[in-house]
Amino acid sequence: MIVEMRTGAAQEEVDGVVQRAKELGLGIQLNLGTNKTVVALLGPNTGQLPIDIFAVLPGVERVTRIMKPYKLASRDFKSEDTVVSVNGVEIGGKRIVVMAGPCAVEGEKQLMAAAMVVKEAGACILRGGAYKPRTSPFAFQGLEEFGLELLRQTKAQFGMPVVTEVVAPHDVARVVEYTDILQVGARNMQNYALLTEIGKSKCPVLLKRGFSATVTEWLTAADYLLAGGNDQVILCERGIRTFEDSTRFSLDVGSIPIVKKSSHLPLIVDPSHAAGHYSVVPALAKAAIAAGADGLLVEVHPNPKEALVDGLQSLTPSDFARLMTELRSIAEAVGRYI
Rule CB under 8 A: which of 65-104 touch a copy of itself? 66-67, 69-71, 76
| Bridge partners (DSSP) listed for residue 101 | 299
Q: Which is nearer to a copy of itself, 72 or 151 (CB)?
A: 72
Query: Which three-class secondary structure state does DSSP give residue 207?
Result: strand
Applying the rule CB under 8 A, the residues between 119 and 148 that interact with a copy of itself are 133-139
Among 84, 124, 150, 280, binds a copy of itself (CB under 8 A): 280
Q: For the chain, how long is the longest CA-to-CA vector?
A: 75
- CA-wise closest residue to 111 among 167, 165, 171, 152: 152
Q: How far apart are CA 4 and CA 74, in angstroms?
A: 27
- CA-wise closest residue to 306 among 99, 148, 114: 114
State the minimum distance, in angstroms, from the CB of residue 83 to a copy of itself: 20
Applying the rule CB under 8 A, the residues between 22 and 61 that interact with a copy of itself are 27, 29, 31, 33-36, 38, 40, 42-45, 48, 50-53, 55-57
167 sits near a copy of itself (criterion: CB under 8 A): yes
Q: How far apart are CA 142 and CA 128, in angstroms?
A: 10
State the minimum distance, in angstroms, from the CB of residue 156 to a copy of itself: 28
Applying the rule CB under 8 A, the residues between 227 and 246 that interact with a copy of itself are 227-228, 239-246
Residues making up the chain, counted from first to last: 338
250 sits near a copy of itself (criterion: CB under 8 A): yes
10 sits near a copy of itself (criterion: CB under 8 A): no
Among 191, 201, 263, 272, binds a copy of itself (CB under 8 A): 191
Rg of the chain over CA atoms, in angstroms? 23
Query: Please, what is the end-to-end C-alpha distance for the chain in angstroms?
Result: 44
Applying the rule CB under 8 A, the residues between 317 and 336 that interact with a copy of itself are 326, 329-330, 332-334
